Structure 1
Amino acid sequence: MKILVVGATGTLGRQIVRHALDEGYEVRCLVRSAQRAAFLREWSVELVRGNLCRPETLPAALDGVDAVIDAATARPTDRVEQVDWHGKVNLIQATHAAGIKRFIFFSILNAEKYPHVPLMQVKQCTEAFLAESGLDYTVFKPCGFLQGLIGQYAIPILEKQPIWVMGQAAPIAYMNTQDIARFAIKALTLPETVNRAFPLAGTRAWGAYEIIRLCERLTGQDAKISRISLGLLRGVRRLASFFQWGWNLADRLAFVEVVAGSQALDAPMDDVYATFGIDKQEITTLEEYLQEYFNRIMKKLKELNYDRDKAKKKKVPF
């Protein structure tokens, strides 16, 4: 089977590509930048230049493909509506026109509960558009990625920088993108996943302060915490929305309000595990992920200090 992965240079997309290759699939990737996709070429992946917002570039990428996995999302410099709505509509229509039936899409858990948040609204609208497209679709609804915790918590603690905590900091059931990729690739061979949506939640939901305490324990360092009130966040969003240059910022701040609230982003997973034949014990926990990361970083830091000490000893005094 030949699959087209869209968003392959992203945090999730690259894991989908890697897992698909490991499972023996032939993989093609739609990419905007050949430079950003250089590592994919090293993996012997076929690359096709294209852009979701330019529908004329899509037929070449879809030619000869059996299934499409869409893991793309707007970059910080993009308007959410451009990529996550118009771009996705272009891709779905082009997939249907190419005669390809299988389509896998990544939404966000509880998108239907936040119609006032642009990203959540377009995800929900895309789910509805996909359901009426005639394609054999599967929708996955992750809560959040473990990989995102590195920049948010791990690096600030190691660099003794403040960790910004917003509002009440809703507990979130983060999942490793490698595990998410397993679900996506397995869906290609499971008829019972066709025309269905599945939540993807980690082994438990974690609040911001729980993660901070875990990082402190694993590193032996105290965290510096800076708090931002939800009211201030909403005020900045409203101000930004008055100016065209601030629309993109306002859209993203609206999403931040979701994770800064009190409602947990979590979902029961027993039926999902049963459907996909995946054992919960095989899913990476947040503790395991951060422990492995900090062990690797601490080992590297010790090696760097050792190298510096050796270099100092070799210096000849004058």
Structure 2
Amino acid sequence: MSGGTPVRSTSILVVGATGTLGRQVVRRALDEGYDVRCLVRSRPAPADFLRDWGATVFNGDLNKPETLPGALVGIHTVIDCATGRPEEPIRRVDWDGKVALISCAKAMGIQRFVFFSIHNCEKHPEVPLMEIKRCTEKYLVDSGMNFTIIRLCGFMQGLIGQYAVPVLEDKSVWGTDAPTRIAYMDTQDVARLTLTALRSDKSERKVMTFAGPRAWTNQEVISLCERLAGQNAKVTTVPVGVLKFTRMLTRLFQWTADVSDRLAFSEVLTGDDVFSAPMTEMYSMLGADPKETTTLELYLQEYYSQILRKLKDLKAQSKQGDFYI
């Protein structure tokens, strides 16, 4: 590739750009002056917001390898945030699609590949998604490309629909009595640290874990939501044994095999694992300030403050309307 046309180091392709993490990576990269291209599947609702932000959108699909080379022309770095949709077989995107992307990137001389994985994925070969992540990590390392693998624990954004909204709307909150602890991070912080790592030579050919300031059990998250919302939650506890039995049952039928794979991941989150990692050395290596990382308390406090303020305004407008009627 030494005789090829040089590309700017600021030219990046974000795969999975419309997802929870991908859109934050796109936004942060644009704010920092990168030329961002997004690989997006054709769909009824176009990703116009990406264009509005200033990114270039390229229609392609990891399930269609023939669409990938065009997206990689003139690209220096690939940041892979993609994952399969809930209705898709896990293997289709998260393995077949990723192998196609990595192979194509290597063939076209991409100079940096950033891949997002799951913390402790090598410890759970019985869980299809985590085993696929481990195998993809190995495939990327063995490819000989210049890589950065970032393992993640959990996103704060996922807690809004799972806990924060049901508590506020007085609906059932589903949880288990398992002692699993997860160090959630705001996806904006993940994006910020990812771009910081991209500028650092020290992160090249490294496997890193990004974790939040503290690991939480689901019971602790529910209690925090109750305190911030000012009301008690209707908690429905699902015994771990029920999840295991359901997974065993769904494995008996071919048409429910993918459901079983996803339940396997749920089982990991109902064990006694701790999805966290010390970050002191990581912050030091990247030259980042740990005080800039959002805590879960602050994240949920800001969410509830905004929501409760809107509800208060709506109530005031309603009372004003009643007066005139």
**TM-score in terms of structure 2 length:** 0.95
Identity percentage over the alignment? 51
- CA deviations on 1:233-290 (whole Å, 9 max, x unpaired) are 0111111122222122111110011111111111111111011111111100000000
For residue 187 of structure 1, report the CA deviation from its aligned partner. 1.9
Alignment of 1:168-187 (within 5 A): 168-187=178-197
Choose the corresponding residue for 2:318, options 267, 287, 308: 308
Spell out structure 1 runs of 4+ moving beyond 4 A.
none
Looking at structure 2, the residues matched to 98 and 183 of structure 1 have their Cα atoms a distance apart, in angstroms, of 27
Q: Does structure 2 conserve the Cα–Cα contact (< 8 Å) formed by 1:161 and 1:224?
A: yes
For residue 213 of structure 1, report the CA deviation from its aligned partner. 1.1
Choose the corresponding residue for 1:275, options 270, 285, 302: 285
Other structure's SS at 1:260 match: coil
For residue 134 of structure 1, report the CA deviation from its aligned partner. 1.3
Q: Does structure 2 conserve the Cα–Cα contact (< 8 Å) formed by 1:3 and 1:27?
A: yes
State the partner residue of 1:30.
39
Asked if 1:257 corresponds to 2:257, the answer is no
State the partner residue of 1:17.
26
Choose the corresponding residue for 1:284, options 267, 291, 294: 294
Q: Which amino acid aligns with 2:84?
A: A
Other structure's SS at 2:191 match: helix
Other structure's SS at 2:18 match: coil
Looking at structure 1, the residues matched to 315 and 254 of structure 2 have their Cα atoms a distance apart, in angstroms, of 49
For residue 36 of structure 1, report the CA deviation from its aligned partner. 4.5
Q: Does structure 2 conserve the Cα–Cα contact (< 8 Å) formed by 1:112 and 1:124?
A: yes
State the partner residue of 2:149.
139
Asked if 1:209 corresponds to 2:227, the answer is no
State the partner residue of 1:231.
241
Q: Does structure 1 conserve the Cα–Cα contact (< 8 Å) formed by 2:21 and 2:191?
A: yes
Looking at structure 2, the residues matched to 153 and 33 of structure 1 have their Cα atoms a distance apart, in angstroms, of 32
Count of matched residue pairs: 315
Choose the corresponding residue for 1:122, options 123, 132, 152: 132
Looking at structure 2, the residues matched to 307 and 58 of structure 1 have their Cα atoms a distance apart, in angstroms, of 52
Looking at structure 2, the residues matched to 40 and 229 of structure 1 have their Cα atoms a distance apart, in angstroms, of 42
Other structure's SS at 1:138 match: strand
Alignment of 1:38-117 (within 5 A): 38-117=48-127
Looking at structure 2, the residues matched to 182 and 85 of structure 1 have their Cα atoms a distance apart, in angstroms, of 27
Looking at structure 2, the residues matched to 62 and 294 of structure 1 have their Cα atoms a distance apart, in angstroms, of 41
For residue 311 of structure 1, report the CA deviation from its aligned partner. 1.7
Q: Which amino acid aligns with 1:241?
A: R
The farther-off stretch of 202-211 and 164-173 is: 164-173
Q: Does structure 2 conserve the Cα–Cα contact (< 8 Å) formed by 1:66 and 1:102?
A: yes
Q: Does structure 2 conserve the Cα–Cα contact (< 8 Å) formed by 1:167 and 1:261?
A: no
Other structure's SS at 1:216 match: helix
Q: What is the RMSD of the two structures over their aligned residues, measured on CA atoms?
A: 1.0
Alignment of 1:148-159 (within 5 A): 148-159=158-169
Looking at structure 1, the residues matched to 42 and 231 of structure 2 have their Cα atoms a distance apart, in angstroms, of 39
Other structure's SS at 2:207 match: strand
For residue 33 of structure 1, report the CA deviation from its aligned partner. 3.2
State the partner residue of 2:174.
164
Looking at structure 2, the residues matched to 48 and 266 of structure 1 have their Cα atoms a distance apart, in angstroms, of 35
Q: Which amino acid aligns with 2:103?
A: Q
For residue 219 of structure 1, report the CA deviation from its aligned partner. 1.1
Looking at structure 1, the residues matched to 177 and 247 of structure 2 have their Cα atoms a distance apart, in angstroms, of 14
Other structure's SS at 2:235 match: strand
State the partner residue of 1:189.
199
- CA deviations on 1:118-151 (whole Å, 9 max, x unpaired) are 0000000000000011110000011000101101
Q: Does structure 2 conserve the Cα–Cα contact (< 8 Å) formed by 1:163 and 1:225?
A: yes
- CA deviations on 1:162-213 (whole Å, 9 max, x unpaired) are 1111240411000110010012112221111111010111001011111111
Q: Which amino acid aligns with 2:180?
A: A
Q: Does structure 1 conserve the Cα–Cα contact (< 8 Å) formed by 2:176 and 2:218?
A: no
Q: Which amino acid aligns with 1:193?
A: S
